[in-house]
């Protein structure tokens, strides 16, 4: 059988075109869960507030071992951003002043104020895709407020542990209870 010489190059060209079209097809975007589970590295970012929740969540990530923590967002697959209430302490302020009163006698006044909202607020975690900056997961846990510094710190630790557990359980769900 004698194949015309024109058909061989045409067949090769056609095969190359088909292969190139298959390679050029865009891959469909991954859903958030698939992206979270496929990721290998994470960059930890504090977005403000107390350092306590950031440190608790960073330590928990290190202990989990699922992701490698990297020192730059450029090297990461994911960015985990932690926001928490500030460390402003509550307390009592007392001020006293003297001003001239009636009949030239000085009049003294004293005022007392108390800050009632010491560090109660949410601990928030948002996980972004490092390349597209798309939000893949977010969670929040309300930290209880307290007038005592030690109790405020303990409440921030508890809130950070709870929000981390939510993230952990999203990636690796616990076995069903029997």
Does residue 148 belong to any structural domain of this protein? Answer: yes
- Per-residue pLDDT tens digits for 2-55: 666 767 677 777 767 766 666 666 656 678 999 999 999 999 999 999 999 999
pLDDT at 114: 52
What is the pLDDT averaged over residues 115-137? 85
Q: Which of 124, 132, 33, 26 is nearest to 73 (CA)?
A: 132
Strand 78-83 relative to strand 41-46: parallel, antiparallel, unpaired?
parallel
DSSP designation for 60 = H
Does residue 14 belong to any structural domain of this protein? Answer: no
- Per-residue pLDDT tens digits for 70-107: 999 999 999 999 999 987 654 444 555 556 666 666 66
What is the pLDDT averaged over residues 58-64? 97
pLDDT band at residue 67 using 50, 70 and 90 as cut-offs = very high
Does residue 161 belong to any structural domain of this protein? Answer: yes
Strand 78-83 relative to strand 92-100: parallel, antiparallel, unpaired?
unpaired
CATH number, domain containing residue 66: 3.40.50.10070
How far apart are alpha carbons 94 and 47 in whole angstroms?
34
Supply the range of the domain harboring residue 68.
28-85+119-172
Work out how many domains the chain is built from and give that number. Answer: 1
Q: Give 149-154's long-range contacts (Cβ < 8 A, gap of 24+).
A: 149/89, 152/89, 152/118, 152/119, 153/52
CA distances from 41 to 22, 37, 76, 79, 103 (A): 30, 11, 5, 9, 76
pLDDT at 109: 66
Does residue 108 belong to any structural domain of this protein? Answer: no
Secondary structure of 11-38 in HEC code, one letter for each residue = HHHHHHHHHHHHHHCCCCCCCHHHHHHH
Does residue 62 belong to any structural domain of this protein? Answer: yes
What is the pLDDT averaged over residues 126-150? 94
Q: Which of 149, 127, 128, 152 is nearest to 140 (CA)?
A: 127
Does residue 56 belong to any structural domain of this protein? Answer: yes
Does residue 149 belong to any structural domain of this protein? Answer: yes
Does residue 167 belong to any structural domain of this protein? Answer: yes
DSSP designation for 74 = G
């Amino acid at each position: 059988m004698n194949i015309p010489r024109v058909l061989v190059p045409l067949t090769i060209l056609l095969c190359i075109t088909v292969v190139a079209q298959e390679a050029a097809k865009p891959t469909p975007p991954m859903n958030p869960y698939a992206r979270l589970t496929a990721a290998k590295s994470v960059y930890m970012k504090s977005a403000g507030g107390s350092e306590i929740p950031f440190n608790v969540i960073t330590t928990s990530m290190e202990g989990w071992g699922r992701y490698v923590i990297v020192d730059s967002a450029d090297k990461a697959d994911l960015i985990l951003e932690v926001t928490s209430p500030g460390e402003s302490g509550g307390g009592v302020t007392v001020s006293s002043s003297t001003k001239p009163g009636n009949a030239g006698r000085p009049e003294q006044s004293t005022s007392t104020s108390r800050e009632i909202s010491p560090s109660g607020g949410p601990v928030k975690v948002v996980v972004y895709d490092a390349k597209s900056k798309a939000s893949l997961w977010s969670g929040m846990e309300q930290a209880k407020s307290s007038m005592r510094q030690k109790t405020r710190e303990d409440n921030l630790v508890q809130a950070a542990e709870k929000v981390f557990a939510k993230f952990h359980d999203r990636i690796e769900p616990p076995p069903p209870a029997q």
